[in-house]
Amino acid sequence: MSTQAVTRGVRRTMKLVFAPWTAGPVTEQDEIQHEAEFEIWKGGLRGCTEDFDTI
């Protein structure tokens, strides 16, 4: 009798709300500051940080 590994996927659900009025203030150069940036990936949702000094 051979043993075979059974792979079973895990189903996760989440509710997200993206609201345009939650953006930060607009600067004189028409750039929005203080935004929250997120990345949706296979493992879920994670916050992103960006080093603006190198741009």
Q: Could you report the per-residue pLDDT of 1-51, keeping only the tens digit for each? A: 667 777 778 777 777 776 666 666 666 766 656 666 778 778 777 777 665
pLDDT tens-digit profile of 43-52? Answer: 777 777 665 4
Q: Are strands 37-41 and 44-48 parallel, antiparallel or unpaired?
A: antiparallel
**pTM of the predicted model over 0.85:** no
Judge whether 50 and 39 are in contact, CB under 8 Å.
no
**Sign of dihedral through CA atoms 38, 40, 42, 43?**
positive
Three-state secondary structure call for residue 53: helix
Residues comprising the chain, all counted: 55
54 pLDDT higher than 60: no
pLDDT at 44: 77
